Amino acid sequence: MGTLATGIEAVVFDCDGLLVDTETCWTVAESAIFAAHGHPFGPEQKALVIGHTVEAAAQVMAEYFGRPDAGADIAAELLERIRGELSRGAAALPGAAELVRACRAAVPIAVASNSPRELLDAALWSAGLAEYFTHSFAADEVRSPKPAPDLYLTACETLGVAPKRAVAFEDSATGIASARAAGLYVAVVPTLPGADLDHDWLGTSLDEPEVRDWARRLGA
């Protein structure tokens, strides 16, 4: 739905669930924590935490469990569980490597992630994508992570591009809100099927022919 933007001078990618299949790691960790507190974990619960920082997701869980003061303890457990899952490896999602390479050949690119630097680096290296990014920005490196615009504004400033001339590729409402607030064009490939998300362009995969054709025309 929608048309991918023309006249683009930079592309900024989310990481988790967009470039790299790390949401599987997050879901395993989140499911275990929900189970430990006597709660099931399904699409409804996933929608509550997807796209958030470790700290924000943990606080959502704490509130959900009726233990609002337990956010810090849950965050520590969540980080440790995700770290363990990521150590087993995470693959690039379909079309991600090809799209990143095509965009990099035409315009400046960056990653803007709501993960802390440790998890972002682990994900990009595991998926074989780290070598393509000279610039990446993590949640613990800005004053306010997503849904605030800081990550995308920092990325655009570093790349020397006005936000209105940049595309953000996102998969979650939290990331979309951040990109929208920063003024980027928002291309969305949802992690959760059927999610009703704000977008300028909406697709089902980074491997769609429309995306590949668009990337080949970048910089022309």
> In this predicted structure, what is the pLDDT of residue 64?
96
Please tell me which residue in 16, 21, 171, 200 is annotated as part of the active site: 16
Number of Cβ atoms within 10 Å of the Cβ of 135? 15
If we measure between CA atoms, which residue out of 63, 95, 59 comes closest to residue 75?
A: 59
Query: Which residue shows structure tokens 């910089």?
Result: 219
Residue labelled with tokens 């900024």: 12
Sorted by sequence, the CB contacts under 8 Å of residue 218 that are 6+ apart come out as 8, 11, 102, 103, 106, 107
Which residues in the chain show pLDDT less than 70?
A: 1-2, 220
Helix (H) or strand (E) holding 72: helix 71-86
pLDDT at 2: 67
CA separation for the pair 74, 189 (Å, rounded) = 29
Does the pTM of the predicted model rise above 0.95? no
171 noted as active-site residue: no
Q: What pLDDT score was predicted for residue 183?
A: 98
Burial of 52: CB neighbours in 10 Å, binned 0-12, 13-18, 19+: buried
Helix (H) or strand (E) holding 185: strand 185-188
Instruction: Let me know if 73 is a catalytic residue.
Output: no
Please tell me which residue in 14, 21, 150, 200 is annotated as part of the active site. Answer: 14
